[in-house]
Amino acid sequence: MANDTRELTYAEAIREALAIALAADERVFLMGEDIGVYGGAFQVTGDLVDRFGEERVMDTPISELGAAGVAVGAALTGLRPVFEFQFSDFSLLAMEQIVNQAAKLRYMLGGAVNVPVVFRMPTGSGLGGAAQHSQSIEAWFAHVPGLKVVEPSTPYDVKGMLLSAIADPDPVIVFEHKLLYKTKGPVPEGDYRVALDRAALRREGRDLTIVAFGIMALRALEAAETLAQEGVDAEVIDLRCLRPLDREAIVASVKKTTRLLTVYEGVKTLGLGAEISALVAESEAFDYLDAPILRLGGAEAPIPYSPALEKAATPQVEDIVAAARRLAHGRA
């Protein structure tokens, strides 16, 4: 297989991006619980501690608030820390540092400082982690001015977006759905960048637009293939970037297809689907709509431990197909 078409897993693509950044810039270092000898909770950092040493790949104590504070402080001194939370749920212990410090310091100090810190957050359900290890809290952070928030769905995107995030002068949160770590896709060698403010058109269609991100973008693509067999041509927009949202891509697609379905794993109420719906309702695309906007989100409940209930609590491919079918036939 040629180098430009080689395949890596999502986890390997992340590790390669981290290695490139560590080798290229001595200011870059990694922090997190068990990321060193153990290789990370999901084995993403792997052998990086052997390659770059314990001063560049640092195991931290079990204190998310304290360690995140160290990362923010290091960024203020000109270093470029990449902090890995074992689970995105654990970032709730560090909200003070992420939301009140990292996101606000450049504004509060009149632009005199930057906070070039990256927070990596394994997110989502599907591995039986239950209520405290399976949440999708992207909307919490996307609500905060001063943060950039991304959730790549492919190995290509996660490598390019992570490299862009590390180079960015401001704090970036990179959500990584846990079910994606073993998925494979083409990844070029070397350093390349994917913009932190652009969605990706994954599939062109004419009958309705499905806007999704992370694992839901892949499920939306699978659903679109099933729908195509029924004569429903769905366009799939992979957001990738949750803050800022790519307004132009969303509006242009809805103007073309005249129908919108938003799909996300987080709890439906006050989720990203509501913001996307409002964005369209407040835009020129509103006059093009031929049906009400439809949101498909997670259940109004904590994520259950039971595998059957866990699956039922989040949108699956068959749920996306059913919702799109209703929307396309005017029964939303």
Question: Which residue numbers are catalytic?
Answer: 64, 133
C-alpha 253: how far from chain center: 21
